[in-house]
Each structure stands twice: as C-alpha cells, then as structure tokens.
Structure 1
C-alpha cells in the first residue's frame, strides 16, 4: 500500500510542535504494517538545505500563480517529496508567520498550493506508475487536499483520503475574496465544500470532504462533538458520525529513552531510578535553583491560555509554599511570559524560566525533573506527558483529551491496585490545580509510593506500534 502523507512540518527537518513529531514518526510506524509512506513537505529554507541533490520529478509553470517544482529525496530512510516554490516558502521568519510573529498574509495561497500539489501527485504527477493508493493529510495546512481531489481531480481514479486533526483550534479561515484564486470550481463554494461562515475554511473543507477523519486521542474525538471543544465545527463532526475516530499518538522510543539518551548526565532504567538524582542536581544547577528535598516541577510548553499557563501563574505562590520548585521552558503570550519572569524574580532559587525552546534541554528536564505540569484546558493528545511517563517524570495533568487517555490518576483505588501513573485534576482552575500540586507533594513525600508511580509510567507502552496498526487498519477499510 502506498500512502502520501501531506503536512506543513515534520521532524527532523522542521518543527513548531507535536504535529511534526507525529508526521515524522508515521513512516517507520507504518512500515511494519506493509504501508509505504512518502511525506510531502513545503520547500522551506531548512527543508531545501537538507534535501540538496534532490531529483526533479515535475514542474508547474503556475501553481496558484507561482512557478514550482516537485523534488524527490530519500533522507534517513524516509521517502520525501518537497514542493520547491521559492515565492511561497523561501522566506526569513517562521513557517506560518513573519519575523515579527504576524501570520503571513498569503498563507491561504501557500497552503492551498501545497494541497493542490498533493492532489496532483495523488493523481499521477511524477514518474509513470508512481501514483498513491491513499492520501493522509494533517491539520488545516494540508486539509484542502481532499477538496481538490473531490472538486478538481487530476484524473478520474478515485483516491480516498484521511484527515488527522491535531488541534481543532487552528482552522485556516480566510475571506471569500480568496476563493476565485485557489483553483476550485464554483461547485466547491457550498456548505458541503469549502465555504465556512462566508469565507474559505480550510480545516472545515477537509472535514467535509475527507473519506475519514481522525483525531490524536479517543477522548478528543468525543470532545470535539461538543460546542465547548468543537470550535464551531462540532455540528459537522457530529454529522460525520462514525467517520470520525481517535487514534492515540505514540512517541519515538529510540529518541526518547532514558537508557540511551546522550543528553542526560546519568542514563538510567526503571531498575536504576536512583541515578535520576544526579540529573536532578545538574538540572537545578543549570537553572540556578536551590537544591532541595521537595519535588522539582517542570514545564515544557507553549505559554498560552490553552495550556492553562495563566492558572499555573496563579498557583505559583502555593507551589513554592508547599515546598516545590519550578523549572520552565517555553514561549508564548507576552503577558504570561512576563508573569513567569516576575515570579522568578519574586522567588529566586525556587522558580526559574527559560523563554524559547531547546530540544536537548527538554530531554534533560524530563530526565531530572520529578513531575511535569500539563494543566491544559484542552489537549488533543499531548506528547510531553508521554515523554514524562517514559522518563519517570510524573505527569500532573488536566483530565481532558489525550491527557485523560494516557495518565492514570493516583486516587486511592489506583494506588491500592498499584496502577497509578500520575495525578489528574479537573476542571482547570486555581483550586483544582493547587489541590493537584498538594497531592503531588504528599505522594512525593512517600518514596516507595512515588517510585511505584514512576515505575508504572516507565513500564507503559506508548510506542507507535499500536497506533501504526490502527492507522493501517483504517487505510485498509477505505480501500476495501
């Protein structure tokens, strides 16, 4: 089975979040299931740099108004296609925004072009016989692929498609004035097509036209059927019925393994957990924190309302008051960043903040922190709590989305049964989070109980094996 995976980012080439981790992991996860995945990415500067000596498969004189080429390269065993369109992707700044943080004004063109190219490739563009059996798209940036396949296919051969929603909050909505410029017939401008509240809704178009829709956890698949989590598209999700399902993300256990992780001062296993203490002391020194007997909480997150970071700010006095310390790595809303800076100034040696992102530091934090805080208001899946489980860094999470699906709360019944892997709380608010912090400190003060919680998490299997099997089964059902 040949599958074309279309996305705006993928590790190890470009990454802004968990989407890239998932897209990068899928080819290897599906190879064991007899599925050959080729990943199509935009030709950002980093991608072009990494794919030098690529082979040219096709050229468009005008792809939504821009000259473009389709390049092919195998990199570290992964089959890659790159859409080389310098007018769209060769820019300073981020993948989606300029250096000032403002979204590129032509994002509609940049990602409609990606989708149009994907539909052409699925329809047979490139070497003879290189067509694909199925297309798998990810989030709004590639969701329009299935709309092009439905309304303006390159060939008459039907190609089924799967859309995976990694975050319903980002929908790719643009004004109606762009519709005449995206290369779709008038028939596509309908409630069953791309029209959404008087404009072009790119995620909505994918939801309406994909053969199947998945989210990255079963609980999130249920949540988005409600107005609270559906972000205005819950009605469409409900209308798709059984076409919508949840497949839990996995993690790359080769990259995230405390036994082999070279970023750690001390590598360890579930049998040698005592070695984590050396990592903890090194992490305290790196962040300028005072060594202490209480738990070292960590945060590796976007600093946004979705992630509950405003509530964590409110709880910092409580966290410090009960003997905890905090090391934070992240960036996001300016006001929240400033709030954490102020807290670090208020509690020198107890709270420390690094604004930005550092992949190796995130590994050191998972290997040295005692507990990782993920108080998200909604979380489609979440990966940091999975890394925490693998590293014995106990997750303290809100009971939502993938967090609910992956962490077993240390309530009395779970502790008696010996199955707890973390601490859950709901809803997200000062009293519930502060209570969860107090529960965590109390559990930490019982070393045997804490080691059991750590061991349970490290023994859990969140590799891509089960997820790969689930995706392969879905693909086969669409091709039957």
Structure 2
C-alpha cells in the first residue's frame, strides 16, 4: 500500500448486492470499489440479514447491551468480482428476520450494530484512519468515538465522515432509548440528542462527526433551509463549515449498454440504432403495441417524495399525446392502487409493474426513450445517471442531485443532456415532457445528438471517489490536529 493510502472502514445498513432497498446500497456497493482501485485499504461493515447466506465465520465476541451481553459474530466475504472485504455483523436476535427495516426494536438493532462494528476493529486488527458512516443507522458511531472511546488509544485518532443520503429518514425514537445506548439524562437536551421530545440518531451523526457530507452540492444547500431541512436545518447551518456535497456516481462497468447481459440488445454510441430493438422487445414483453411511439419510463419507490402526484395529475393529458408509459416500483398502497387503476384505464398505453425486478429495470433503462423523475426533493438520484448512460433522456425537476447532473436542453444552442422544470406544478412538468416530445418527433437528428451527449456524460465513481478522499483527509486533519468536540 502506498505511503499516502488511507485505511477506510465503510459502514452501511445495506450494501449491494447483499441487501438493498434503495440508492444507499448502490453507493455502498460501488464507492468502496472505486476507492480500492485508487489504492486505498477499504473495507465494508454491514449487518448480516437473514437473506444473506454467504460469509465465512471469522470470530465472535461479547457486545454490552443495556446491562446484558449479546454476541457479535463476524463473518467475512468479498464483493463479487472485487477484493473489497465485507465484514458481516451477525446476530440471530437482531438480524435473522424477513426484511431489513420496519421492526419495533430498530433503535436496539442499530445500536447493537454500531457497538459491534467498533468492538470488531481490534479483534480483526484493523485500525482505520477514517470511518465513513452512512445515514441514521450509523449515527451512534461518531457519538461513541467522541464519548465512550474518546480517550482509548486505539480509537482516539479515528476520524469520522457522516454521509446523509436522505434527511427524511432520521431514526427517531422515544427518550428511554438513551438508557439503551448507555447515556445519561445530560444528553437529553436540544444541544445534544433531544429532538422534539425524542432521541434522533441522525442528529447524533451530524452533531458528533468530524465532517459531514450529502450526496449532491445542491442538496447540501437545500437541507440548510426549512423547506428541505426536515427540522434539522438549524443544526446543519451551525455546522455549515463542515458540510460538503459530493454527487454520487454509478458503476460504469456494471451499467454499460454495450455489455449489459440483462437487456434485449447490446448497443453503444457507435451502434445507437440498435437501441430501438430494446424498445420493441420491451413493448412486446409489457403487452403494449409494438410501434415507434415515444415510450416514457420510470423506476421508483412509490412514495410521495418521488413526485408521483404530478404524474397522476397529468396522466390523462399524457395519454392524449399518443405516448406509452412503463412503470416499475413498489411502495405505499395509495400509489400502488392509483397506478393499477391507471393501467386498467389505459391498457394499450400503460404497463405497471409493482415490485422490484433488477433485470426489468435494466430493460426499461435501455428500452425507454424518456425517463421521468419529477421528484419533490431528491438528495442525489441514481436513475437519471443510469438513464443517461443508456441514452434514455431524463425529464427531471430541478432539485438536489437532479439539478447537479441534468442540464436543461437548449434548442437554440443544442446544449444540455435532458429536460428540467422548476415549479412543483403539474403544468410545468407536462410542459417539460412536451418539449422533449417535440424534439423527439420533429427533430430526430437533434434527438440523436442529445442521446450521444447523454451517453458521453461522466458520472463514474472514479471521479467522485477522489472527492471523498479529500473529505477523509479533512476529517482526519480536524480530528487529529484540533481534537474538535462540539459537545463534551
């Protein structure tokens, strides 16, 4: 390992391909690989959920939990096709369940996870320069390092970066959780962990980490405002000097239309005409008329954040424009019922697929002409970057990472890589779609150049990984030189 290489522990509640509910898993499965390629000693720690069957037994040890001991079992595997080690934190009581989240003892589960991760390090003889903590599930790690482990020689010089992937999900629990995590009443005040009468794990991470980041530059600014700050905007403004934004990347080896085994027909910039074969095959599989009509795609969680009410509001008008629509997603019952009803109303134009199917997702990225992301807010978003990679032109709302990655197409200058709109209004969204359809139908050569420009966009992890290394070094400098403590 080179002299300037870093030792990095990447901690996440989900990591692709082992366990995934959203974009966090994609980041956790891709960024460490890019860091490894750059010469750093990076390792991952995550829970070993019931669905994860792999992992070779390494060791076990006691973990103190609210005046009793639990056993932490460490199993080790690798990210397939890569030599990044993955430490699987195993415990039958907490993780051998159907599903990942949504249990009444979430505070206890992820308190155990954080404690087990820190206790594991001397056991596996790995002393990281920095622990990269992701979202509320890891929020207790920076807290522990600056309280319980503050004077321990093994842990004293370990810096922390806390990444906010979605501020809406914070890990908020009743006050009695303080006893569970071994803290006294002095921590239950607004300057520490108290949050409107409860305890907030996300707040712990923001408060105690050496450096904080979120997953796009614009979202880093947005979350410091009441509109996007989810009641933590005041704290984030206080820590604004330590708050950074880095746009996520995607795995360009995995997300490659020239080699993707999941799509119907491989293609690239030089063989762009072959892309249309993916549309025709997708139409056939979805039971839609096979014809050269604009095909709009969306792959999303069915939750309010994703702007689905805008889609519902304009759906009748969209269908009157002579387009087809393919959706893949799962989530709230309200939206599942809504889109099921729209499918029945427009059986020859709309295909609704409830649930998640990784292979079908790739087929939609490759087969659609236009990709829709009208999000109410979007910390980063990966789908718009994947759609660019596949030459499928995104129509997005100009917020968060969507604003950082998609440049609105200018018909006069021919610049831009997609279409965007600002007001969260059905009319603005529909107008952006109409602009895209106008170019698609009336100016096919311009549309082709737009597709090529989209496919040439660089949102690879290698670019973002370099920015993360800079943040790791900032965190180390703050931790080691200034011995920063916001709360003592």
With structure 2 as the length reference, what TM-score do the two structures score? 0.92
Cα drift, residue 117 of structure 1: 2.0
The match for 1:408 is 407
The match for 1:457 is 454
The match for 1:67 is 70
Distance 1:193 1:259 in 2: 51
The match for 2:93 is 87
Distance 1:192 1:82 in 2: 34
> Do the aligned residues in 2 keep the contact of 1:43 with 1:86 (CA within 8 Å)?
no
CA offsets 1:141-197 (integer angstroms, 9 cap, x no match): 111111111121172423210110000000100010221111234443343332222
Assess, with a 3 A threshold, how the Cα gap between structure 1 residues 11 and 270 changes in structure 2: closer, same or farther: same
Distance 1:473 1:45 in 2: 36
Distance 2:393 2:254 in 1: 19
The match for 1:237 is 236
The match for 1:100 is none
Query: What are the within-5 Å matches in structure 2 for residues 28-427 of structure 1?
Result: 28-47=33-52, 49-51=53-55, 53-56=56-59, 58-60=60-62, 62-64=64-66, 65=68, 67-75=70-78, 76=80, 77-92=83-98, 94-97=99-102, 104-121=103-120, 124-127=121-124, 129-153=125-149, 155-156=152-153, 157-413=156-412, 416=413, 418-427=414-423
Q: Which moved more, 1:301-310 or 1:153-162?
A: 153-162
Distance 1:274 1:479 in 2: 50
2:17 matches 1:12? yes
Pick from 460, 469, 472: which aligns with 1:472? Answer: 469
Q: SS at 1:431's partner residue?
A: helix
Distance 2:147 2:184 in 1: 7
Pick from 430, 437, 452: which aligns with 2:433? Answer: 437
CA offsets 1:72-116 (integer angstroms, 9 cap, x no match): 423131211121111111012x2102xxxxxx1100001111112
Cα drift, residue 330 of structure 1: 0.5
CA offsets 1:391-416 (integer angstroms, 9 cap, x no match): 00100100000001111111335xx1
Distance 2:117 2:72 in 1: 12
> Do the aligned residues in 2 keep the contact of 1:135 with 1:159 (CA within 8 Å)?
yes
Q: SS at 1:227's partner residue?
A: coil
Q: Which moved more, 1:74-83 or 1:432-441?
A: 74-83
Distance 1:37 1:197 in 2: 37
With structure 1 as the length reference, what TM-score do the two structures score? 0.94
Distance 2:351 2:90 in 1: 42
> Do the aligned residues in 1 keep the contact of 2:265 with 2:277 (CA within 8 Å)?
yes
Distance 1:74 1:247 in 2: 28
For these two proteins, the number of residue pairs brought into alignment is 464
- CA RMSD of the aligned region, Å? 1.5
Cα drift, residue 474 of structure 1: 1.1
> Do the aligned residues in 1 keep the contact of 2:257 with 2:389 (CA within 8 Å)?
yes
Distance 1:328 1:72 in 2: 38
> Do the aligned residues in 2 keep the contact of 1:294 with 1:441 (CA within 8 Å)?
no
Q: SS at 1:292's partner residue?
A: coil
Q: SS at 1:87's partner residue?
A: helix
Q: SS at 1:176's partner residue?
A: coil
The match for 1:3 is 8
Cα drift, residue 477 of structure 1: 2.3
Distance 2:86 2:349 in 1: 46
Q: SS at 1:265's partner residue?
A: coil
Distance 1:145 1:273 in 2: 48
Cα drift, residue 66 of structure 1: 5.4
Distance 2:175 2:271 in 1: 60
Q: Which moved more, 1:427-436 or 1:222-231?
A: 427-436
> Do the aligned residues in 2 keep the contact of 1:22 with 1:249 (CA within 8 Å)?
yes
> Do the aligned residues in 1 keep the contact of 2:75 with 2:90 (CA within 8 Å)?
no
Distance 2:196 2:10 in 1: 29
